[in-house]
Amino acid sequence: MVIEMVKQARTSKKKMPADVHKELAEQNACYVLITCGEPSIDGKMEVEMTYQGDASLAAYLIESAQGIMDHQGDLL
Q: In terms of pTM, does the model score above 0.95?
A: no
- Whether 9 shows a pLDDT value over 60: the answer reads no
pLDDT for the residue numbered 34: 87
Domain ranges of the chain: 2-75
Each residue's pLDDT tens digit, 30-76: 999 888 889 889 988 888 888 889 999 999 999 999 999 888 877 76
pLDDT for the residue numbered 10: 52
Residue 72's Cα: distance from chain center in Å? 19
Separation of alpha carbons 63 and 60, rounded Å? 5
Looking at residue 10, what DSSP letter applies? Answer: T
* 3-9: average pLDDT: 60
pLDDT for the residue numbered 3: 60
